Amino acid sequence: MNDRITIRIRAAYRQLAAEPGDFVPVADIADRSGIPAGKLAEALIRMYADREVNLIPRANQAILTDRERQAAIWCGGKWKHLVAMGAP
């Protein structure tokens, strides 16, 4: 994987999460990192497979914005909207 992309994802997450392990929207990671959607999805899926991040769907799908729907990542047979890194 491109280490620069991983570094940018981690930096964006640290800026957005109040604490390690907090879930933040994938859309916010995309905005903060400036990584194109396809490359971001590829990197997050690889990080998920390597157990470096946790990706989950938003429980209440009715409150998703168009922005969050568009940034969602298809992984494990579900659209994932939130990402967390590090131990809670």
Residue 9, SS3 per DSSP: helix
Tens-place pLDDT, residues 46-73: 999 999 999 999 999 999 999 999 999 9
Tens-place pLDDT, residues 34-45: 999 999 999 999
DSSP for 21-70?
A: T--EEHHHHHHHH---HHHHHHHHHHHHHTTSEEEE--S-GGG--HHHHH
Q: Exposure of 33 by Cβ count < 10 A (0-12 exposed, 13-18 middle, 19+ buried)?
A: buried
pTM: 0.91
Tens-place pLDDT, residues 75-84: 999 999 999 9
